[in-house]
Amino acid sequence: MISPISVNLNPELYEDPLAFNPWRWQDESKKSTLLKNFMPFGGGLRLCVGAEFSRIQIALFLHTLVTKYRWKEIKGGEVQRISEIVFPKGYHIQIIPREESIN
């Protein structure tokens, strides 16, 4: 069984894999290797049939979350990176609706 997060965090494939670097895909000399190994929804014959739908759902959710709400941390948030990213003590937040500005 392949764990996509383990492949995506492999330092042999990605320089500093834990760093947020959306420009890593622009290096033309590494592009074919990176794209062959990046697997957010699986690939090949077993490509997730709902991959595109889930991308749209996630984009809509995140857009609504950041434009209509704000949040504050209550407790937790310590991150552990193993074969996946986990919050061993949980991550508790309070979501608060943003106040609409009156024009």
pTM above 0.85, yes or no: no
Which segments are annotated as binding site for heme? 48
**Domain extent listing, the chain:** 1-48, 61-102
Distance, CA of 51 to CA of 41 (rounded, Å): 6
CB count, 10 Å around CB of 14? 19
Which segments are annotated as binding site? 48
Q: Which residue has the higher pLDDT, 45 or 54?
A: 54
CA 67 and chain centroid, separation: 19
For residue range 9-43, list pLDDT tens digits in order: 778 877 888 888 877 767 767 666 666 666 666 66
DSSP string, the chain: ---HHHHHT-TTTSSSTTS--GGGGG-HHHHHHHHHH--SS--GGG--TTHHHHHHHHHHHHHHHHHHEEEEEEEE---EESSSEE-TT-EEEEEEEPPPPP-
Distance, CA of 77 to CA of 57 (rounded, Å): 24
For residue range 55-100, list pLDDT tens digits in order: 899 999 999 999 999 988 888 778 777 777 778 888 888 999 998 6
